[in-house]
Structure 1
Amino acid sequence: IMTNWRSPLILTAYIIIFLTGLPANLLALRAFIGRVRQPHPAPVHILLLSLTLADLLLLLLLPFKMVEAAYDFQWYLPELLCALTGFGFYSSIYCSTWLLAGISIERYLGVAFPVQYKLSRKPVYGVIAAVIAWVMSFGHCTIVIIGQYWNSTHNDVTSENGITCYENFTQAQLDVVLPVRLELCLFLFFVPMVITIFCYWRFVWIMLTQPHVGAQRRRRAVGLAVVTLLNFLVCFGPYNVSHLVGFFTKKSPLWRAEAVVFSSLNASLDPLLFYFSSAAVRRAFGRGLQILRHQSASLLGRRGKETTEGTSGDRGVSQAEGAPSSDFTTE
């Protein structure tokens, strides 16, 4: 099926991202749903929940990308799935950029203007911000799908009815596709990245310079900023740079498939962001690790000892479960 090193390498990367990202995001989803269902959830928890849903959408579509890579980037599935997979996959990526920007704005306002923020924060603000992010990403990617799939998949029909998905455009199609990709890069990547960098620069500076902020919260603040910056530069950066290169060279770069892999990596990196952002997620991850330890202990024949230790640990977690978490707000 696979004829060169490129396809198996990309397939392996997709499998690793899927196996690491799916369980972590499902744990985060459960934690955020519980947090949002509590009275008066903070806007940031609604944004984090929405970011988790965007990651899960990407992860659920990843098996189709695996099949494509396994067949050396020939698409043997129904042609409609090619369009729907591309639409959902890239919409998820661009939804994440603006959701990350919204989270950075909320974090900055929470520490820079703590009193005003606590008095004015309402869940509806988080809902509005999440809806705007989804509408912008899906709206833009609708244009891309129309432009890129308008007879484009018929340009390179392979044996046994295989087609190349999302590639091989005519010059007339490129005249539409390349400018739209440039607009995607500028409006859905560079603008939210600049906003995010500014907000987290101010956020970290405030957290590090205020004497009453504990060392643990300072470390979480730095970790949150670093993970988010890595998301933009490592995950989203290569794919959007390919848009710039394509616009100026008037053709799609040959390394776009590798750039898409880096964008998918965002689904495995976001759980780290969730861990630094939310006490609910930290508790969920802690419970998950406890379960894994108990299962490992039972396999090793030490179940009785570990269960005793785990019971006391679970009791501590349950006591903290209902406690409100200030996370990064300076109270």
Structure 2
Amino acid sequence: MLSLKSSLILVAYVIIFLTGLPANLLALRAFLGRVRQPQRAPIHILLLSLTLADLLLLLLLPFKIIEAAYEFTWKLPEIICAITGFGFYSSIYWSTWLLAGISIERYLGVAFPVQYKLSRRPLYGVIAALISWIMSFGHCTIVIIVQYWNKTQEATNKDEITCYENFSPGQLDLVLPVRLELCLVLFLIPMVVTIFCYWRFVRIMLTQPHVGAQRRRRAVGLAIVTLLNFLVCFGPYNVSHLVGFYTKKSPQWRAEAVVFSSLNASLDPLLFYFSSSDVRRAFGKGLQILRHRSSTLSGRKGREIAEMANGDKGASQVEGAASSDFTTD
């Protein structure tokens, strides 16, 4: 029988997977359509990259579910542990710098709207996404290195093998300083950049008299969701790095902190919703399809089809051209 800790983590992972996967797939479809359009901007590339980072984490989440189901003993081949850890933690830190890049784009778009529109190039978004990818995946190669550094496991019983949890003193001498660097370079710096940019972004949006109330609410919502991402999702996991470096051992609550980091994949779709009219339309149509299917079972098929048609027409009239830009001009 599973312990309470393993049961709660297992349920949390399942909920994150079931909520995050469909939402991110809808967002992926919307952003792929957006980047194919002529007037794409760096922000669209960054949002698409953030969706891919979330999907990578979600596709690896079943392995974490299996791990929790077996009380955090690793029953799969060791190479799967290394690959899962590498991709899982890389996706987390890929997201932090992508969020920072998105915040910079938002700030430039409202602070210097004319210069931003004249100078923005999709190539800049590609370069920023590649730099963040190289930084995150490059740093997280430590996961694979440590996995085979003097052999990660010291357990004599094969059934007691864990994945990237129990380290020898020699391995901790390598792991703990690298985790501290991860916290500083891939969490603290992008968080400071993001807080500064969104503070300026929201302040400009709220003080401009010609900015509508709906756009102001979306700006505030965007800033709040991003701040929650850093504080609630990424914060506990990176604090565990600081605690581990100070105490010279991995904290006992590190597994729970990893769950909060995974929650990022379910929270990002809210960011996409506030950021892009394409995603808002995609989510709206998805909800309409669900309502239509449920109404079919209750005999209201004809009326719901008419409501879907009217809803699509109204959405297109309200939203207008597809855009994900916040500008003050």
Q: Which amino acid aligns with 1:295?
A: R
Residue 155 (structure 1) aligns with: 154
List gaps (5 residues or longer) in structure 1. Answer: none
Partners of 1:322 and 1:157 lie apart in 2 by 64
Secondary structure of the 1:298 match is helix
Superposed displacement of residue 172, structure 1: 1.0
Superposed displacement of residue 318, structure 1: 5.5
Partners of 2:311 and 2:185 lie apart in 1 by 47
Bigger shift: residues 287-296 or 150-159? 150-159
Partners of 1:327 and 1:122 lie apart in 2 by 14
Partners of 1:65 and 1:44 lie apart in 2 by 31
Query: Normalised by the size of structure 1, how large is the TM-score?
Result: 0.96
Q: How does 1:154-193 map to 2 (within 5 A)?
A: 154-159=153-158, 161-193=159-191
Residue 272 (structure 1) aligns with: 270
Superposed displacement of residue 118, structure 1: 0.4
Query: Normalised by the size of structure 2, how large is the TM-score?
Result: 0.97
The Cα offsets for residues 127-184 of structure 1, whole Å up to 9 and x where unpaired, read as: 000000000000000134313442443312435x551110221111111110000000
Q: Are 1:259 and 2:251 matched, yes or no?
A: no
Secondary structure of the 1:74 match is coil
Q: Are 1:293 and 2:262 matched, yes or no?
A: no
Change (3 A) 1:250 1:36: same
- Give % identity: 80
Q: Are 1:7 and 2:6 matched, yes or no?
A: yes
Partners of 1:124 and 1:197 lie apart in 2 by 25
Superposed displacement of residue 47, structure 1: 0.1
Secondary structure of the 1:153 match is coil
Change (3 A) 1:157 1:88: farther
Superposed displacement of residue 40, structure 1: 3.2
Residue 109 (structure 1) aligns with: 108
Superposed displacement of residue 82, structure 1: 0.3
Correspondence for 1:221 among 219, 222, 225: 219
Superposed displacement of residue 302, structure 1: 0.9
Residue 123 (structure 1) aligns with: 122
Q: Are 1:314 and 2:312 matched, yes or no?
A: yes
Residue 211 (structure 1) aligns with: 209
Secondary structure of the 2:210 match is coil
Partners of 2:115 and 2:235 lie apart in 1 by 35
Partners of 2:234 and 2:207 lie apart in 1 by 31
Change (3 A) 1:148 1:317: same
Superposed displacement of residue 326, structure 1: 6.0
- 8 A contact 2:277–2:319 mirrored in 1: no
The Cα offsets for residues 56-97 of structure 1, whole Å up to 9 and x where unpaired, read as: 000000000000000000000111000000000000000000
Correspondence for 1:242 among 240, 243, 251: 240
Residue 55 (structure 2) aligns with: 56
Q: Are 1:232 and 2:224 matched, yes or no?
A: no
Partners of 2:35 and 2:137 lie apart in 1 by 24
- 8 A contact 1:153–1:163 mirrored in 2: no
Residue 281 (structure 1) aligns with: 279
- 8 A contact 2:106–2:325 mirrored in 1: no
- What is the RMSD computed on CA atoms of the aligned residues? 1.4
Runs of 4+ in structure 1 deviating by more than 3 angstroms, as ranges, are 315-322
The Cα offsets for residues 110-138 of structure 1, whole Å up to 9 and x where unpaired, read as: 00000100000000000000000000000
Secondary structure of the 1:154 match is coil
Superposed displacement of residue 319, structure 1: 6.2
Change (3 A) 1:285 1:157: farther
Partners of 1:232 and 1:212 lie apart in 2 by 31
Q: How does 1:82-101 map to 2 (within 5 A)?
A: 82-101=81-100
Partners of 1:154 and 1:290 lie apart in 2 by 51
Residue 196 (structure 1) aligns with: 194
Q: What is the aligned length?
A: 329
Superposed displacement of residue 320, structure 1: 6.9
- 8 A contact 1:279–1:327 mirrored in 2: no
Change (3 A) 1:87 1:250: same
Q: Which amino acid aligns with 2:207?
A: T
Q: Which amino acid aligns with 2:167?
A: F
Residue 69 (structure 1) aligns with: 68
- 8 A contact 2:47–2:272 mirrored in 1: yes
Partners of 2:172 and 2:277 lie apart in 1 by 47
